Amino acid sequence: MSVSDALRVTVIVGSVREGRLGRAVADWFLTTAAAADPGLDLDVVDLAEVDLPLVLPGWGGTPSPEAAAALKDVSPRLAAADAFVIVTPEYNHSFPAALKNLIDWHHREWQAKPVGFVSYGGLGGGLRAVEQLRLVFAELHAVTVRDSVSLHGPWSGLGEDGTPRDADVCAGAAKGMLGQLTWWGRALRTARAERPYAG
C-alpha cells in the first residue's frame, strides 16, 4: 500500500480539563490503532492546544484575527482527513464544550466522512456523550459507525500510564470500531472523488 493510499484518520482529543485523562486514552488508542492497521495515517488534534474563541462570526462573516490564526492550523487537517475518531469524556451526561466549539467552527470538513468514538468516564463509560455526538454529526452529514470503544470508570479501569487494565477487551473493541471506520472511510473517499458530496 502506498502512502497516498493510506487512510487519513484524525484523532480529536475532546477534553481540555486540568488533570484530564483524554490524552492518555488517546495515546493508548493511537498505539492500538497503529498495531491493528498499519495502513492508517494518524493525526492528532488535541483541543488543549487549539485556542479557538467561543464567539463565532455571523452567517457569511469573517473570523476574527485570533480565530483565523487558530483555524489556519486545524481546519486544513480536518479537511484532509478521510475519517475521524473522537476521544471524549462524559461531562454532565454530555460531551465537553471545547469539542462542540471545534465542531461548530467547521461544516464541510465533516461532510460525507465517518466518525468513530472512544469514550471514557464513570459507570456509563462516556456512552451518553457519544449518543449526543451522533445527533450532532448526523446534522453535519457525517456517518457515525455503530461500534465504539467505551472505557468504564477509567479511574479504576486505567493504569497510571493510561493503559486499560482490561487490555484485551479494550483492544478488541478498538479493532472492531476501526474495521467499520476504515470500511466507511475508504468507501466514502472513493465516493467523494467520483461524485462530490452536495449536502
Encode pLDDT of 133-143 as tens digits: 999 999 999 99
Helices marked H in 90-140: 97-104, 127-139
Closest-CA residue to 142 (of 153, 133, 155):
133
Q: In residues, how long is the chain?
A: 199
User: Across the strands, what pairs with 91?
Assistant: 94
Residue 168 pLDDT > 90, yes or no?
A: no
What is the rounded CA–CA span in Å between residue 25 and residue 18? 15
- The residues spanned by each domain of the chain are 3-194
CATH fit for domain 3-194, picks 3.90.230.10, 3.20.20.80, 3.40.50.360, 3.40.140.10: 3.40.50.360
Residue 47 pLDDT > 60, yes or no?
A: yes
What is the rounded CA–CA span in Å between residue 165 and residue 159? 6
Predicted confidence at residue 125, as pLDDT, reads: 86
pTM across the whole model: 0.94
Predicted confidence at residue 122, as pLDDT, reads: 77
Q: Show Cβ contacts of residue 106 under 8 Å, excluding neighbours closer than 6 positions.
A: 75, 78
Encode pLDDT of 53-109 as tens digits: 998 888 888 999 989 999 999 999 999 999 999 999 999 999 999 999 999 999 999
